[in-house]
């Protein structure tokens, strides 16, 4: 049974060090990754290494192009980006685009992202519609944090999804401060995102841009699933079994304690999939212990009809050093 496709931006886990971020992600139940080259100096090295990077564990891979150009021209950046594997999507900020022809050459791999309030363009439906007229093959990357920062009512987010549903290929998720900083998903942001979650197809990759350390990444995944819930059919009845996630690396020990209403269910996370099992109304305590090749990690998922105030979720790493190098 498949669920949402989720992952991290490498820049959120380890700024400027995609290899370290990939090592950290090896111990997480993620199926997607965005390789960050937000600073133009990072792009040439990433392009050079792209052919040797092992991304076979991920169902979806994208690259975030530089957000500001200084020494490189748009033609040079486009030429570099075209050397990346053909299956990788390329996320671009509209405000770096001035000469449209080099970006047209990326075809459908190009994803335009809606901007935060600091930028001169790219926030509104009208702005992006004009850009899509000039770049007709481009797809859309919805940044829900940017949309909420511009319009906390989420009317803008609803409008962007409805206007560009056919183009929607990826979603960036985080809370965004007034200076544009990407922060962990708070309760208010989570509540806002749950309102638009039903409009985001399950197969659309959700990429976390929350700036967190590797030790805090599992808890941010919990926040992501609470912000973008789904409620598939349960696979059986009875107690929640322990599910081993094979092929994971690293060694960790963690616990999840849930106090939830009867319609809350527990998700046991595995690389590439999420297995859902029903649970009783009583409190359960799920412990996870893992060795280098075997990890059991419990995540909770509240069904869409559960009230946010009715659940209490905690994920506390016991052995933080096991999450990999920092």
B/e letters for 169-198, b = 16+ CB within 10 Å, e = fewer, are: bbbbbbbbeeeeebebbeeebbebbbebbe
Q: Looking at residue 118, what is its pLDDT? A: 87
Q: Which residues lie below 8 Å from residue 26, measured CB to CB, with a gap of 6+?
A: 57, 248, 249, 250, 324
Q: Looking at residue 195, what is its pLDDT? A: 95
Q: Looking at residue 316, what is its pLDDT? A: 34
Q: Are residues 215 and 299 in the same domain?
A: no
What is the β-pairing status of strands 32-36 and 6-9?
A: parallel
Q: Is 234 a domain residue? A: no
Q: Is 235 a domain residue? A: no
What does the pLDDT average to over 163-170? 98
d(CA 5, CA 280): 27
Q: Looking at residue 302, what is its pLDDT? A: 28
What does the pLDDT average to over 46-60? 94
| Tens-place pLDDT, residues 188-224 | 999 999 999 999 999 999 999 999 988 899 999 999 9
Q: Are residues 183 and 118 in the same domain?
A: yes
Q: Are residues 129 and 260 in the same domain?
A: no
What is the β-pairing status of strands 175-176 and 60-64?
A: unpaired
Reported in sequence order, the residue ranges of 195-252 that DSSP labels E, i.e. its strands, are 206-208, 245-246
Q: Are residues 263 and 222 in the same domain?
A: no
Q: Is 57 a domain residue? A: yes
State yes or no: pLDDT of 149 exceeds 50.
Answer: yes
- The fraction of the chain above a pLDDT of 90, given in percent, is 60
How many separate domains does the chain show?
Answer: 2
Q: Are residues 97 and 212 in the same domain?
A: yes
Q: Is this prediction's pTM over 0.85?
A: no
What does the pLDDT average to over 30-57? 94
| Tens-place pLDDT, residues 4-43 | 899 999 999 998 899 999 999 999 999 999 999 989 999 9
Reported in sequence order, the residue ranges of the chain that DSSP labels E, i.e. its strands, are 6-9, 32-36, 60-64, 89-92, 110-113, 139-143, 168-173, 175-176, 182-183, 206-208, 245-246, 253-259, 265-270, 273-277, 284-289, 294-295, 297-301, 312-317
CB 204 within 8 A of CB 111: no
- Among the three residues 195, 227, 259, which one is the final residue of a domain in this structure? 227
Band of pLDDT at residue 157, cut at 50, 70 and 90: very high
| Tens-place pLDDT, residues 264-322 | 233 333 333 333 333 332 323 333 333 323 222 333 332 333 333 333 333 333 232 33
Q: Are residues 128 and 82 in the same domain?
A: yes
SS3 27: coil
- Length of the chain equals 326
State yes or no: pLDDT of 113 exceeds 70.
Answer: yes
B/e letters for 6-45, b = 16+ CB within 10 Å, e = fewer, are: bbbbbbbbbbebbebbbbbbbbbbbbbbbbbbbebebbee
d(CA 326, CA 317): 16
Q: Is 1 a domain residue? A: no
Secondary structure letter of residue 291 according to DSSP: B
Q: Are residues 263 and 221 in the same domain?
A: no
Q: Looking at residue 169, what is its pLDDT? A: 98
Q: Looking at residue 60, what is its pLDDT? A: 97
Q: Are residues 127 and 255 in the same domain?
A: no
Q: Are residues 183 and 316 in the same domain?
A: no
Q: Are residues 206 and 274 in the same domain?
A: no
Q: Which of 115, 106, 109, 90 is nearest to 36 (CA)?
A: 90
| Tens-place pLDDT, residues 226-265 | 999 864 322 222 222 222 222 222 223 233 322 223 222 3
What does the pLDDT average to over 46-53? 94
Q: Are residues 287 and 193 in the same domain?
A: no
CATH number of the domain enclosing 122:
3.20.20.150
Q: Are residues 223 and 253 in the same domain?
A: no
Q: Is 237 a domain residue? A: no
Q: Looking at residue 289, what is its pLDDT? A: 31
Range of the domain at 57: 6-227
Q: Is 51 a domain residue? A: yes
């Amino acid at each position: 049974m498949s669920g949402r496709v989720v992952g991290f931006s490498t820049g959120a886990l380890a700024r400027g060090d995609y290899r370290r971020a990939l090592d950290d992600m090896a111990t997480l139940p993620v199926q997607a990754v965005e390789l960050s080259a937000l600073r133009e100096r990072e792009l040439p090295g990433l392009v050079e290494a792209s052919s040797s990077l092992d991304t076979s564990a991920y169902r979806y891979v994208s690259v975030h192009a530089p957000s500001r150009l200084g020494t490189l021209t748009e033609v040079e950046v486009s030429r570099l980006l075209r050397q990346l594997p053909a299956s990788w999507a390329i996320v671009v900020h509209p405000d770096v685009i001035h000469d449209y022809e080099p970006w047209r050459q990326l075809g459908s791999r190009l994803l335009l992202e809606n901007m935060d309030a600091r930028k001169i363009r790219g926030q509104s439906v009208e702005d992006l519609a004009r850009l899509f007229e000039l770049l007709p093959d481009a797809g859309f990357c919805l940044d829900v944090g940017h949309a909420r920062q511009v319009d906390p009512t989420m009317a803008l987010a609803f409008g962007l999804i409805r206007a560009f549903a056919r183009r929607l290929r990826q979603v960036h998720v985080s809370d965004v401060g007034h200076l544009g900083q990407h922060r962990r998903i708070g309760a208010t942001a989570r509540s806002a995102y749950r309102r638009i979650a039903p409009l985001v197809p399950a197969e659309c990759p959700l990429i976390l841009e929350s700036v967190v350390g590797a030790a805090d990444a599992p808890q941010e995944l919990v926040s992501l699933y609470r912000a973008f819930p789904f409620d598939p059919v349960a696979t059986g009845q009875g107690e929640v079994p322990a599910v081993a996630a094979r092929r994971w690396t690293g060694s960790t020990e963690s616990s999840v304690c849930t106090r939830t209403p009867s319609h809350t269910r527990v998700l046991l996370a595995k690389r590439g999939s999420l297995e859902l099992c029903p649970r009783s109304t009583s409190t359960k305590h799920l412990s996870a212990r893992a060795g280098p090749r075997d990890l059991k990690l419990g995540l909770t998922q509240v069904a869409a009809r559960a009230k946010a105030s009715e659940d209490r979720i905690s994920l506390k790493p016991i052995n933080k050093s096991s999450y990999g190098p920092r």
